[in-house]
Structure 1
Amino acid sequence: MDDLLVLYAVDSAVAEGLDTGPGWARRWTARWKTAQADVFCPVQELASFPAVASVPVRGFTWRAGQRHRPGLRFLLATGRMHGFESLAERNLLLALDFAADVVEVLSQPFKLRFTTAVGSEAHTPDFLVLLPDTAVLIDVRPGHLVKDKDLMKFAATEWAARAVGWRYLVVSGWRRQVLTGLDALSARRRPMSDRLGLQEELLELTRERPCRFGEMTEATSLPAVARAHAVHLLWHRRLAMDLAQPLDDAAWIYPAGRA
């Protein structure tokens, strides 16, 4: 994800305004929502809560005239729909679907209640991404929309994540060409039947050395169909490319895992 996204650097100096004295991880709380009731737990127990049993702590609403664009997006990695509250969040879900080892993605997972030097505040992270051995908390905020009041919330969420060994990211944008490339690759992300064995032809063509996309597909037994299978292999990371460059016939295609 570090190679795909532009991350907002949370100023460590802001955290000096947080109440992080002895016992802070017991005083700060997270409110989860389940189908039966709301459940509160101290921040120090975040990692032990059965997150997959929760539902979004804040509902997704649609109304005429609203300035943000909520909706649902299907993720191949989880096999289900996931809510988002803006187009920026929808784009992040696309990147998460492309990233390897995603076990689950939870939208609006919990409301964090934390204390500062002047009182109590609350913040709801945008996503909790569960990985095989850990998790990542993510907020999505385009850089030009970050306000001063957000900085304390970001700092508090980072402290909460670190307390249980999670990582915290504030996504403020995309690296050059990445979003366009992922959007193109996602067109062939679903399972494909390969009765003609074109995928093995493509893998064999790049096994010894990288090839240009156009030259690689033209060298197969059925170039027109091979193009679709090449994109499918790129999405599933069985072939590799530099997402900072446009995906066209001149793009270099590499064996997965090799520079």
Structure 2
Amino acid sequence: MPAPRLRSLPRNVTDVARVLACVDGTVQNLQLSPDVGSVPLERATPIREFFSWPGKRNYEGLYWSSTNRRHVDFESLLERDYLLAADYAPDIVAIAAQPLALLWPRAARGNRDHVPDFFVRLGNGDGRLIDVRSPKGAEKYAEQSALTRKICDEIGWEYEVFTGLSPELAQNLRWLAGYRHDRYAPPTEIAESITRRFAEPVALEVGLGEASRRTGRSLEHTTANVLHLIWRRHLSADLSRPLSMSSEVWA
């Protein structure tokens, strides 16, 4: 049975902030405390419905995460860019979309609640809450972000306001993400042979040709294998510059 997604959030009638999350199919309404940090929010499902209407400007969709091995919801192309970056990040081991609602105390001014965009679990066990904002949005919602950061400090989480990737990095990650699936992963013996060829920095085009000859695989297969290995960080390249066949790649 699908986990419930709320169409509206309850009002907090207490004097302490509360955290609302749906983990393993059960909605939990928790008083803010460091104990919230032990909740496995990486297993949370979106706490609220994703609403659509004619003429809506944001683009919604599902991103298949190679980290989660399943789809993750997003509500804008900027959120999709965050998912690309998180999926590629070596320190992130799980990603959850709209994993909780922060219900402000009844005396709080303005909005009564806030639903952050993502929660990620880090390899060291720590948690990080993320709000995705355009640069203008980050300024507009600075007070809300300050409140959210204060909540995270009390729980023991990191907090990040993501405002976008550089054009070069975004373009490179979109290209590499096309090869993130396991179907592009070379067998272990082939991967080792490819890695040995890139032991020293070499232009991608040159390395691909030599790796193809060494392994006896087609250039098309080898290209897919190498780009997958770059995505998995078994090979490296300077992604702050446009990735091309002349880019240096190394193990």
Give yes or no for TM over 0.5: yes
Q: 2:21 aligns with which of 5, 8, 32?
A: 32
RMSD of aligned Cα (Å): 2.4
Partners in 1 of 2:241 and 2:43 — Cα distance?
Answer: 40
Partners in 1 of 2:108 and 2:221 — Cα distance?
Answer: 63
Structure 1 match to 2:128: 136
Matches within 5 A, 1:54-133: 54-114=44-104, 119=109, 121-132=112-123, 133=125
Partners in 1 of 2:103 and 2:188 — Cα distance?
Answer: 56
Partners in 1 of 2:41 and 2:233 — Cα distance?
Answer: 28
Q: 2:230 aligns with which of 231, 234, 237?
A: 234
Q: 2:198 aligns with which of 206, 218, 232?
A: 206
Q: 1:187 to 1:143 in 2, by over 3 A?
A: same
Structure 2 match to 1:48: 38
Q: Percent identity?
A: 26
- Does structure 2 conserve the Cα–Cα contact (< 8 Å) formed by 1:138 and 1:170? yes
Residue 33 of structure 1: SS of its match in structure 2? Answer: strand
What residue ranges of structure 2 are gaps of 5+ in the alignment? 1-14
The superposition leaves residues 152-191 of structure 1 with CA deviations (integer Å, 9 ceiling, x where unpaired) of 1100111111223221110111124001101111111111
Q: 1:86 to 1:217 in 2, by over 3 A?
A: same
Q: 1:44 to 1:166 in 2, by over 3 A?
A: same
What residue ranges of structure 1 are gaps of 5+ in the alignment? 1-25
The normalised TM-score by structure 2 is 0.81
AA in 2 matched with 1:49 = V
Q: 1:178 to 1:53 in 2, by over 3 A?
A: closer
Q: 1:185 to 1:196 in 2, by over 3 A?
A: same
The superposition leaves residues 15-43 of structure 1 with CA deviations (integer Å, 9 ceiling, x where unpaired) of xxxxxxxxxxx922212235344423214
Structure 2 match to 1:157: 148
Structure 2 match to 1:23: none
Q: Could you say which structure has the greater relative contact order, defined with CA pairs below 8 angstroms and 6 or more residues apart? A: 1
AA in 2 matched with 1:182 = L
The superposition leaves residues 71-105 of structure 1 with CA deviations (integer Å, 9 ceiling, x where unpaired) of 21111111111111111111211221111243321
Q: 1:96 to 1:195 in 2, by over 3 A?
A: closer
Structure 2 match to 1:174: 165
**Number of equivalences:** 228
The normalised TM-score by structure 1 is 0.79
AA in 2 matched with 1:210 = P
Confirm whether residue 252 of structure 1 aligns to residue 239 of structure 2. no
- Does structure 2 conserve the Cα–Cα contact (< 8 Å) formed by 1:122 and 1:153? no
Partners in 1 of 2:196 and 2:129 — Cα distance?
Answer: 39
AA in 2 matched with 1:39 = N
Partners in 2 of 1:131 and 1:118 — Cα distance?
Answer: 31
